[in-house]
Structure 1
Amino acid sequence: AAWGLGYFGQPHILARFMAAENVKSLVSARRIGMTWMILCLAGACAVGYFGIAYFGGHPEQVGAMGGNNERIFIALTTLLFNPWIAGVILSAILAAVMSTLSCQLLVCSSAITEDFYKGFLRPNAPQQELVWIGRIMVLAVAVIAIIIAADPESKVLGLVSYAWAGFGAAFGPVVILSVFWKRMTAAGALAGMIAGAATVVAWKPLTGSSLYEIVPGFIACFIAIVVVSLMGKVSKEVENKFEEADKAYQAAK
């Protein structure tokens, strides 16, 4: 259930809503987005249940998964479909991986460059400098991903859950409070992102708990944002923008 908290802070998901043509289109975007995710998650659960039923009745074919339960979709595809159809289905996996990978790299690079580097370190940085920083960040994120994935003991679900927790805990509360609380400051947002990400990284090594890292990370981010924001002051310009956006959204409902 804690995985649900991660959706609030996934840049590649939020970017689609940020690209909406106008406020009114957000209502339709919300319905389409929720419907699509329900279908996707239902399909993922269905694959697991079908796998339990199929391999429970055909235990001699369990070896098709190669000892890795995460290969259940690939195993079922190769066992149950014609090779031509199986090839098309398996190519869809590669397409999804490449699409998600490119999107994640670009969104991560843009977030670091625009929201962190320009937002906090170099507000007046020229565009050419930001372009080079963005390119360097794409390379850096890719190298880090390759290093993490190089571990032969790593599994896709474990890596995804860790990244999901990091994004969700670092950005989720920031997004939620920026929408519903006009008192949040830039310093509070930065403190929350650092606290959330740090908690996710340090949670299991320090505590050894089996609790999913996103839960304490989400809480730590929320607390840091509120505490630091209350210690600072919000500009009148930010308050006016918040009220203007809120009125526009309420009118579009």
Structure 2
Amino acid sequence: MSDIQLWTLIFAVITFSIYIYIAYASRVSSTSDFYVAGGGIPAPANGAAIAADWMSAASFISMAGIIALGYNGYSGSVFLMGWTGGYVLLALLLAPYLRKFGRFTLPEFVGDRYSETARLVAVISAVVISFVYVAGQMGGVGLVFTRFLGVSPTVGVIIGMAIVFFYAVLGGMKGITWTQVAQYSVLIIAYLIPAVAISARATGMPLPQIGFGQILGDLDQLQRDFGFEAYTEAFTDPAFGMQNMLLITAALMFGTAGLPHVIVRFYTAKSVRAARYSAVWAIVFIGLLYVTAPSVAAFTKLEILETLNDTAISSLPQWFTTWSDVDLITGPEGAALQDLNNDGVYNYTGGAGNEVMINNDILVLASPEIGGLPAPIVGLVAAGALAAALSTASGLLLVISSSIANDVYYKRINPQATEKQQLNVGRITMAAAILVAGYLGINPPGFVGEVVALAFGLAAASFFPILVLGIFWKKATAMGAAAGMITGLVFTLAYMVWTLDIYFGGEGIRGIPATGIGTVGMLVNFAVTIIVSQFTPKPSEKMQALVEEIRYPGRTTLVEKHLEED
């Protein structure tokens, strides 16, 4: 066993033991604790849990790689703007009002606000979004275990499934929440330490956000020398111009504000005020990673360009050999590495002579090795990546479990079910969802960041419009909401399947990528909901008054009566 594998195993055992202990100490016996942690989580802790829940494997593992390798710098900023800007929308437009409405799940709000048909559509939407999202998380778990512990991706995913099963099934939302607080602490430390070390090594400045600015000129010039467009230049990819930057940013932003596993977090807050402050804390905690990711991307890409194009194949550093051994660094289109022009080096360029393909998902995981940091730091980064993936996976699996157990079993099949029966159904559903998630992790439809971006598009196209209209337009109707959700979800999902290379590989409409179609689906949803609402029966006067009341902090009479009647 190498030093890196040993330290990875040490950190994995320590952190997994902490998560399991927290879950055991937080085990629950009521549906309120299982679904929303009893609504008693303090705002700072809730903010940290939200950050861990939302900063998935895509943020930790894939985002810096997407910025540096997938979208060449400037274009990758769509992920920074979209995934953080969505929290502003969430804090201002949705979180406090949904918390005041006082329900366990997002489909429950939809069902109470609109109708049972709309609730069923919302359940289907939540399950589809969550499974697409969780595929990326479990794929990230398999990636980490493959590289750092030398096991196959399948074995890695199975280990991750076992850990999530234990603390999610035992502790429900209460156990997941406090586990995620610990997981946030692990992932942010693991992300910041190598970033600080690499910045200090490369520039003498330990603050990566400042050191980042000192190397951009060198990186721009180096990219031009090797055939790339400048790293900071805008719209360099013909397939990724202004239109697609706008569509992808909007899909990620509105998708963030419509993600079921994020929104349910605001039901765990103690009050409406605490829900607002939870969003503020979440933005602070998320910002620590998001203002660091661009610097990690730039430092690492600079090192890669300098190393590959100037180093003889026989003298390549150990990190290159290690990652190529697990087929995450390959030749063009996944072929074996070859010195095609026989010049003694592997040329990494932006032109026809490119001889190396580097998987986007390895950049952060490889950054400590690329930066020459010791084995314990490499092991810590691996533990951070696992924390990011598992924290989000558990939140997503709880959404699937609660949507089926609460909104299908309890609300529609067996309204007389006892607390124990509901908990048993929730746990059985959770176990089944974990098995499906494991399969998707072993057979993901793309790299981690891409898969997660698809989930955001689906959330934007299905949930965001009917949530906004449900809160701010009291005459939005049940038939309008159901028609809008179905149209938005089906249109967006069909387009994704049609255009993704793993399925049909179609060209798409006007060059719109699968990651940006969620914005169009959202607009379709808005249009269908509004149009159908004009010609279908309006909500009852009582519901219209209730919708009016939830927008005003001082009005609670109808909301309290509504909760008591339920």
With the shorter chain as reference, the TM-score category is 0.7 to 0.9
Instruction: Tell me if 1:241 matches 2:490.
Output: no
Partner amino acid, structure 2, of 1:134? G
Q: Displacement of 1:37 after TM fit? A: 3.1
User: Does the aligned pair in 1 maintain the 2:360–2:447 contact within 8 Å?
Assistant: no
Q: Displacement of 1:105 after TM fit? A: 0.1
What is the TM-score of this pair, normalised by structure 1?
Answer: 0.83
Q: Displacement of 1:241 after TM fit? A: 1.6
Aligned to 1:182: 474
Partner amino acid, structure 2, of 1:219? L
User: Does the aligned pair in 1 maintain the 2:296–2:364 contact within 8 Å?
Assistant: yes
User: Does the aligned pair in 1 maintain the 2:410–2:417 contact within 8 Å?
Assistant: no
Instruction: Tell me if 1:74 matches 2:370.
Output: no
Instruction: Tell me if 1:171 matches 2:463.
Output: yes
Structure with higher helix content: 1
Aligned pairs for 1:143-154 (under 5 A) are: 143-151=435-443, 154=446
Partner amino acid, structure 2, of 1:95? A
Aligned pairs for 1:190-201 (under 5 A) are: 190-201=482-493
Paired residue for 1:84, among 371, 376, 380? 376
Instruction: Tell me if 1:9 matches 2:258.
Output: yes
| Aligned-partner SS, 1:34 | helix
Residues 134 and 186 from structure 1, CA distance in 2 versus in 1: closer, same or farther, beyond 3 angstroms? farther
Instruction: Tell me if 1:104 matches 2:409.
Output: no
48-57 vs 97-106, greater mean Cα deviation: 48-57
Residues 210-251 of structure 1, C-alpha deviations (whole Å, 9 max, x = no match): 432312221222223223333221112212221221111799
215-224 vs 33-42, greater mean Cα deviation: 33-42
Q: Distance in 1 between matches of 2:524 and 2:275?
A: 29
What is the TM-score of this pair, normalised by structure 2?
Answer: 0.40
Aligned pairs for 1:130-141 (under 5 A) are: 130-131=422-423, 133-141=425-433
* Alignment length (residue pairs): 250
Considering only CA atoms, is the larger Rg found in Structure 1 or Structure 2? 2
User: Does the aligned pair in 1 maintain the 2:483–2:532 contact within 8 Å?
Assistant: yes
Partner amino acid, structure 2, of 1:147? Y
Q: Distance in 1 between matches of 2:424 and 2:280?
A: 38
136-145 vs 92-101, greater mean Cα deviation: 136-145
Q: Distance in 2 between matches of 1:41 and 1:116?
A: 37
Partner amino acid, structure 2, of 1:48? A
Residues 25 and 132 from structure 1, CA distance in 2 versus in 1: closer, same or farther, beyond 3 angstroms? closer
Q: Displacement of 1:91 after TM fit? A: 0.8
Aligned to 1:31: 280
Residues 118 and 191 from structure 1, CA distance in 2 versus in 1: closer, same or farther, beyond 3 angstroms? farther
| Aligned-partner SS, 2:538 | coil
Aligned to 1:155: 447
Paired residue for 2:533, among 229, 236, 240? 229
Q: Displacement of 1:205 after TM fit? A: 4.2
Residues 107-128 of structure 1, C-alpha deviations (whole Å, 9 max, x = no match): 2221344346655x44836346
Percent pairwise identity: 27
Aligned to 2:406: 114
CA RMSD of aligned residues (A): 2.9
Residues 226 and 6 from structure 1, CA distance in 2 versus in 1: closer, same or farther, beyond 3 angstroms? same
Q: Distance in 2 between matches of 1:139 and 1:33?
A: 29
Q: Distance in 2 between matches of 1:216 and 1:125?
A: 42
Residues 183 and 46 from structure 1, CA distance in 2 versus in 1: closer, same or farther, beyond 3 angstroms? farther
Q: Distance in 1 between matches of 2:524 and 2:413?
A: 27
Residues 129 and 216 from structure 1, CA distance in 2 versus in 1: closer, same or farther, beyond 3 angstroms? farther
